[in-house]
Amino acid sequence: MTSMTLADVAAHAGVSTATVSMVLRNRGRISTATRQRVLAAIDTLGYVYNQTAANLRNRRSNQIGLLLHDITNPFYAEMTAGLSQEMERHDLMLFLANSEESVPRQQKFVESLLQHSAGGMVLCAARQTPPLFFEVLKRRNIPAIMVVRPVNDACFDFVGTDNFLGTQLATRHLIAMGHRHIAFIGGAAASATRAQRLGGYTSTLLENGLAIHPDWIVCCDAGQGAGREAAAQLFRAHPAITAALCYQDVVALGVMQALRALNLHVGRDVALIGFDDIIEASLVEPGLTTVSVAAREIGRTAGGLLFSRMQGNDEPPKRIILPPTLVIRGSCGFSG
């Protein structure tokens, strides 16, 4: 099966390549008669459209890139599903790269996207990304949407959630449940997102006349194991703590393990709230109360925005902040 070209189809149908191209793309006026002939020819020849040639000719491709740092994190997996769905609606192909926080890998991926004349990209940039990266990207003026992790550069569109409000909601809930000794576990010290979440927590404590104990605020990596370690230390050192707000659900899951090992019953002895609302949050026993950021929705929204940019939407850069909601399950106990 030596591959057929537009010219072969044209010959077979007795028309020109221009006509075939127009039929394929529903452009221009083509009589129903010739359209039928062309379609028939395509069918009998088993013709496969060559998107590469079209992309070359158009100087732009129908490919977009998604850069993540950890596809293994359920939150990002969920977001990816949302984006993928949206991309498919628009007949766009999705390139995926997993930087694992490596700046060179990220750099290389973006360069590849440029080499492929990608129509745009959705980025959740690695933490150590140098400002120059964004400068260069800007100059290329290819649509780029930042997600989840905001960038100190108002030139880029951003889709994310309101971290501050999220932890405010969570902290208020814990206080309403009667807790006065609330810890904050997780996140990387240098993370801007963490700063916001921490802000929602501390400000709510202060608003309610509660003291802030720096010792009750600990960082840890985004993993179950890290959460477990951190919590084990924390709760041993500070038995007064009766509730914890976790930077992420995965951390909260680790904290649950640690508490169990300490013979503390989550939902009765200690209240726990996570952030992200990953699937696992509803599966564990007791269910994890958590701040839901609609990961899938972030993906869909970013996809929609990117598509509109690719269509030429040149409104000023937007920051779309999806409101978080508190999903209440059993991990904080139940109020009367």
Partner DNA sequence: TTGTAAGCGTTATCAG
Partner DNA sequence: CTGATAACGCTTACAA
Binding site for DNA (CB under 7 A): 3, 5-7, 14-19, 21-22, 24-25, 27-31, 33-35, 47, 49-50, 53-54, 56-59
H or E, element range at 122: strand 120-123
Half-sphere exposure of 206 (CA within 13 A, CB side): 7
Contact of residue 77 among DNA, its own copies, none (CB under 5-8 Å per partner type):
its own copies
What lies within 8 Å, CB to CB, of 75 at 6+ separation is 248, 249, 276, 278, 293, 295
Closer to DNA at the Cβ: 34 or 325? Answer: 34
What lies within 8 Å, CB to CB, of 120 at 6+ separation is 64, 65, 142, 143, 144, 145, 306, 309, 310
Residue for token pair 């169990």: 260
Q: Which of 105, 127, 172, 181 binds its own copies (CB under 8 A)?
A: 105
Q: Which of 39, 45, 114, 328 binds its own copies (CB under 8 A)?
A: 114
Beta strand 182-185 with 243-246: parallel, antiparallel or unpaired? parallel
Interaction of residue 1 with its own copies, rule CB under 8 A: yes
Q: Which of 25, 36, 40, 108 binds its own copies (CB under 8 A)?
A: 108
Closer to DNA at the Cβ: 34 or 202? Answer: 34
Interaction of residue 152 with its own copies, rule CB under 8 A: no
CA distances from 146 to 131, 268, 279, 296, 299 (A): 14, 40, 24, 15, 11
CB count in 10 Å sphere of residue 129: 17
Interaction of residue 86 with its own copies, rule CB under 8 A: no
**Candidates 72-80, 177-185, 187-195, 202-210 — which segment interacts with its own copies by CB under 8 A?**
72-80
Residue for token pair 């490919």: 63
Q: Contact at 8 Å (CB) between 305 and 318?
A: yes
Give the count of residues interacting with its own copies (CB under 8 A).
54
Interaction of residue 71 with its own copies, rule CB under 8 A: yes
Q: Contact at 8 Å (CB) between 302 and 113?
A: no
Q: Contact at 8 Å (CB) between 198 and 187?
A: yes
Closer to its own copies at the Cβ: 18 or 53? Answer: 53
**Candidates 6-14, 185-193, 254-262, 267-275 — which segment interacts with its own copies by CB under 8 A?**
254-262
Residues making contact with its own copies (CB under 8 A): 1, 3, 48-53, 55-56, 59, 61, 63, 66, 70-72, 74, 77-78, 80-81, 84-85, 88, 91, 93-98, 105, 108, 111-112, 114-117, 139-140, 224, 250, 253, 256-257, 260, 279-280, 282-285
